[in-house]
Amino acid sequence: MVRCSSTQMDPLIKFDNRFVRELPGDLNEGPSSRQVLGACYSRISPIQPSEPRLLTVASEVATLLGFDPEFMRSESFVRAFSGHTLLPGMEPFAMCYGGHQFGHWAGQLGDGRAINLGEVVNAQGERWMLQLKGAGPTPYSRHADGFAVLRSSVREFLCSEAMHHLGVPTTRALSLVTTGDLVVRDMFYDGRPRRERGAIVCRVAPTFVRFGNFEIFAARRDLENLRKLIEYVIRTDFPHLGEPTPDTIGAWFEEVCKRTAAMIVHWMRVGFVHGVMNTDNMSILGQTIDYGPYGWLEDYDPNWTPNTTDAEGRRYCYGQQPQIAYWNLGQLANAIYPILQNEELIARGLEAYVHDLQTQWNETMGAKLGFDHWRDDDAEIVDALFDVLRSAEIDMTWFYRLLAEYPIEGTADVSANAYAEDPMRHFEYAFYRWEEQAEAARGGFVVWLERYRQRILRDGLPDPVRREQMHGVNPKYVLRNYLAQQAIDAADQGDSSEIEKLLEVLRRPYDEQPEYHRYSEKRPEWARHRAGCSMLSCSS
């Protein structure tokens, strides 16, 4: 690993690496796989790639970090964020943590293919951790190599930014580079591995601490370091709560619960399915973290999961996400209890999650449906809607966009509007199998439309006002798996233009963008069962 001196290159980046300065580190060095005891991290350097090449940069993230535009265009940037060269002030390390995977304690996990470069403090005094994913082995890689392939890296880069622009709490992505090296992966776990192009994403977040960081110390009964980590996180990431005391720790846990509830409501609002909601994939900031086999609902199916590993149990399917988040918070509560020692404060935090989840979900559904405000009996309308959406293969994203355009004003009943002969025709494009399924769904669909019309008339919102409100929370553009796969296929052939186009489209997901309309089209039939376009494996 080359460390660049400030005389060679000075991009004016200020590092303040509080995590490694204030918390205990691994006394051993090197990437050899091992159990790391009594430490929050291990120092480790990225592996130098043979021929790093920049595919794309998220300019908004570069601005957020305060990076100079000239530096962003330089070869020095590519070398620094491919793991080839360390900038002055970088102190690379991998975190130690554990976690519950698919409901079972997995022991030590840690950053198996992520290496944190250091913490940047921007001009506003904000602290941002820079992390390379796919830059080589760490002590936590177990039997893996620590690298990442192009397909998973493209998906992580695009989804991080797509989620941000959708208004969903998330980690960010600064850059995507190819390494020039080949990585062997068994994509389908069928015993037929193949060589794929290696790539590295630079991820950005205030912190990458997750529930599992606390769980590992609790499981090992290392209460001294558990307390140190809790106090560090409160002082660094939740300073508004004040100095750590039992009451402050309780307030911190409650805030983690509230932030998690807000994140889950946003996931459900846009139809996002994380796919791997293990406790080691849950951020203490309530941010979406670790984009593996994720996906967006195409047809509305609460039991759908994008993860082939979860295909049988469907633990992490769309409809289970609120319950799984609550379960995960329970594991965090168990981990911090030896320090907090207060069941009342734990219960208060979990109750806050349940309360905020329900309250925010009601408000969100009211906004999605164009209601002026939420009424007590609106839950019945929402439940009836979900029954309608389940009655056929109806695209969730397109249904809500079309519902916003459905005319309400000036009609005495559904049969009097522009769709007098067949009010369902307005929603035809949202159906995946219109000819086969429309008639079976017709009865419930038309009844619900009339009920919806009556509800909107009670509010008295003009159609243009309702439409604007609904379009503000119901995206037209989401990162459908088939779109990501098309960008991956092109990038694999050396063409990164589709990544750039998708990034541009996803910056304005609620706007019409007629020039990019094709990126809003629902999943084509050829992508229904194609690898990468429907379900995905955990293979990187």
Positions annotated as catalytic residues are 280
Which alpha helices (H) appear in 391-471, and where do they start and end?
396-405, 434-459, 463-471
Q: Which two tokens stand for residue 95?
A: 């975190």
Q: Name which of 36, 27, 39, 26 is nearest 228 in CA terms.
A: 39
Cβ–Cβ under 8 Å, residues 510 and 401: no
| Count of Cβ atoms closer than 10 Å to residue 224 Cβ | 11
Return d(Cα 260, Cα 321) in angstroms, integer.
11
DSSP state of 114: E
DSSP state of 394: B
What crossing angle do the helices spanning 378-390 and 343-368 adopt, rounded to 10°?
70
In this structure, which long-range contacts are made by residues 506-509, counting pairs with CB atoms below 8 Å and at least 24 apart in sequence? 506/158, 506/161, 506/162, 506/165, 506/477, 506/479, 507/60, 507/161, 507/165, 508/165, 508/477, 509/162, 509/165, 509/166, 509/475, 509/476, 509/477, 509/478
Cβ–Cβ under 8 Å, residues 311 and 358: no
DSSP state of 523: P
Strand pairing category for 272-273 and 85-86: unpaired
Element (H, E) at 491: helix 481-492
Cβ–Cβ under 8 Å, residues 122 and 66: yes
Q: Which two tokens stand for residue 136?
A: 């080589």
Q: Which segments of 227-362 are extended strands (E)?
A: 272-273, 295-296
Return d(Cα 155, Cα 292) in angstroms, integer.
8
* 167, 363, 369, 470 from 405: Cα distances, Å: 22, 21, 11, 9
